[in-house]
Amino acid sequence: MAHPSTYQPGSGFERWLDARLPVVRVMHDQFVVFPTPRNLNYWWTFGGILTFMLAVQIATGVVLAMHYVPTPEGAFDSVERIMRDVNWGWFLRYTHAVGASMFFLAVYIHTVRGLYYGSYKAPREVVWILGVLILLLMIATAFMGYSLVWGQMSFWAVTVITNLFSSLDAVIPGLGTKLVEWIWGGFSVGGPTLNRLYSLHYLFPFVIAGVVLLHIWALHIPGNNNPTGIDVKSAKDTVPFHPYYTIKDGFALVAFIVLFAAIVFYAPNLLGHPDNYVPANPLQTPPHIVPEWYFLPFYAILRAIPNKLLGVAALMTSISILFFVPWLDTSKVRSTSYRPIYKWFFWAFVLTCIALGYLGSQQPEGWYLIFGRVCTIYYFAFFLVVMPVTGLIERPRALPGSITESVLGPEESGEIEETKNTKETKATPPPAARKRKREEVL
């Protein structure tokens, strides 16, 4: 949130630089003394974790790109050479591959937290929209990166997903086929396709970094949301970002890195598919084509609809609908903690997403297909029916009077205010304190 600058240059050089390029002042005001709600819990630490993971992916990706060969003949072998012959290549490759999964784990938790606490509501709509844009860019980047391994699963995943554009033939005859051939650079997935995916996969992380900067900028205009969803009303509702939240974020980051390292060193292929250790063969289709785990819910939605065009439309809508959440939710209360009816629907939605992830990994037949369609219906009903309707009919629980009151309770909050007033204005104590005093006298 906007606040007066408290930065004081400590040397002649700092004063000279501050008058010409006040980058130190900006960092001090936005990341040191920035007023942050005092009641943020550990779910808010995933923003910092995501920034760390983006840096890890860019650093390891740049080094891996120096040894990768983007040709159908050399791609798979170059990955194996990185693993076997390049110094610390195994570590870089596993860190990058597992890092993609950890990146999506953190971003999904970050998104669910935003949905639960209403971080998309005014005045933070732009923050939310930029966050959804980052998610879209991450999905595109991860898909292109997965294809670069050029194993069986990678090759056929590219073939299947790019072929989805051919569904546009049902709208304009020939349009989808032309678009697919343009993406492929020919009449099938091959060298030109791989080169394009490699080029864009290298470019997109830097685009993501740019949007992340906009995301943080947009966040620092209104300031952080908080678990109560109440706006900051006075200085006592906030604490400086440093050292309070740098320590908290740092602890959460270390815990996340421990989990990250455990998978990298002890189970690096836990989240991968064994078929991707088989070189791509255009003449042999795997018996069951599945994407990476973080795409499975969307893949289940795609397969739940028998019509190809409608399936593709549902797939795209399942992500793009997130852009409109700030206007679909009609409730005046931000935090789900104070919405007794909506809370049940929300956790049912979370379980539905997890179920879609499981169903996306199974064959689309029998009960798996039936449950996939039921979950798909509820996924869209949550946004298009539950959000608009529950906001109009439910009666939220009473909100605390302030952020401080939600942390310390009304009596302690009143005592803080009493101490402050006594020191500054010698004012009378708040009503709660006066009532306790009268009872003691009586």
328 and 422: one domain?
Answer: no
Domain boundary among 289, 310, 335: 289
Q: Where is average pLDDT lowest: 103-112, 189-198, 335-344, 398-407?
A: 398-407
**If DSSP codes are grouped into helix, strand and coil, which group holds residue 160?**
helix
H-state helical runs in 22-151: 23-31, 46-65, 75-84, 89-116, 125-147
Residue 7 domain flag = no
Sheet strands (E) in 197-305: 238-240
Separation CA 268–CA 365 (nearest Å): 31
How confident is the model over 228-241, as a mean pLDDT? Answer: 94
How confident is the model over 94-110, as a mean pLDDT? Answer: 98
Residue 82 makes CB contacts below 8 A (sequence gap 6+) with: 64, 67, 68, 89, 90, 92, 93
240 and 369: one domain?
Answer: no
CATH number at residue 275: 1.20.810.10
How confident is the model over 270-287, as a mean pLDDT? Answer: 92
Separation CA 416–CA 419 (nearest Å): 5
User: What per-residue confidence (pLDDT) applies to 437?
Assistant: 46
**If DSSP codes are grouped into helix, strand and coil, which group holds residue 78?**
helix
Q: How many other C-beta atoms can be found within 10 angstroms of the C-beta atom of residue 198?
A: 20
Phi-psi region of 308 (alpha: psi -120 to 50; beta: other; left: phi over 0): alpha
**If DSSP codes are grouped into helix, strand and coil, which group holds residue 63?**
helix
Separation CA 335–CA 37 (nearest Å): 15
Residue 427 domain flag = yes
pLDDT tens readout for residues 188-197: 999 999 999 9
Residue 371 domain flag = yes
150 and 239: one domain?
Answer: yes
Separation CA 202–CA 194 (nearest Å): 12
Q: Which secondary structure element, helix H or strand E, spans residue 36, and what is its range?
A: strand 35-37
Residue 170 domain flag = yes
DSSP state of 279: B
Separation CA 367–CA 349 (nearest Å): 20
Contact 372, 398 (CB under 8 A): no
DSSP state of 188: S
How confident is the model over 107-117, as a mean pLDDT? Answer: 98
User: What per-residue confidence (pLDDT) applies to 13?
Assistant: 95
Contact 386, 342 (CB under 8 A): yes
The encoded tokens of residue 215 equal: 């995301």
Q: What letter represents residue 335's amino acid?
A: S
Residue 13 domain flag = no
313 and 221: one domain?
Answer: no
pLDDT tens readout for residues 379-418: 999 999 999 999 999 999 999 999 999 888 876 665 555 5
Distances (CA, A) of 95 to 56, 70, 171, 270, 384: 8, 20, 43, 13, 39
Contact 107, 116 (CB under 8 A): no
User: What per-residue confidence (pLDDT) applies to 422?
Assistant: 54
Per the structure, the complete domain to which residue 196 belongs is given by 28-289
Residue 95 exposure: Cα atoms within 13 Å on the Cβ side:
22
Domain boundary among 240, 256, 289: 289
202 and 317: one domain?
Answer: no
The encoded tokens of residue 42 equal: 């550990």
Sign, Cα dihedral of 76, 78, 83, 85: positive
263 and 151: one domain?
Answer: yes
User: What per-residue confidence (pLDDT) applies to 432?
Assistant: 56
Phi, psi for residue 234 in degrees, rounded to 5: -160, 170
Using alpha carbons, select from 297, 305, 314 the residue that is nearest to residue 360.
Answer: 297
Separation CA 134–CA 75 (nearest Å): 28
315 exposed, middle or buried (CB, 10 Å; 0-12, 13-18, 19+)?
buried
**Taking the model in full, what pTM does it have?**
0.92
User: What per-residue confidence (pLDDT) applies to 400?
Assistant: 93
The chain-wide mean pLDDT, for the chain, equals 92
380 and 394: one domain?
Answer: yes
Residue 22 domain flag = no
93 and 149: one domain?
Answer: yes
The encoded tokens of residue 121 equal: 């509501």
Residues forming a β-bridge with 240: 35
User: What per-residue confidence (pLDDT) applies to 177?
Assistant: 95
112 and 173: one domain?
Answer: yes
Using alpha carbons, select from 12, 96, 15, 8 the residue that is nearest to residue 57.
Answer: 96
Contact 114, 131 (CB under 8 A): yes
96 and 109: one domain?
Answer: yes
User: What per-residue confidence (pLDDT) applies to 287?
Assistant: 86
Whether residue 348 is predicted with pLDDT greater than 60 in this model: the reply is: yes
Contact 406, 231 (CB under 8 A): no
237 and 341: one domain?
Answer: no
The domain total for the chain is 3
Contact 391, 329 (CB under 8 A): yes
The encoded tokens of residue 93 equal: 């490759």
308 and 208: one domain?
Answer: no
Residue 21 domain flag = no
Residue 60 domain flag = yes
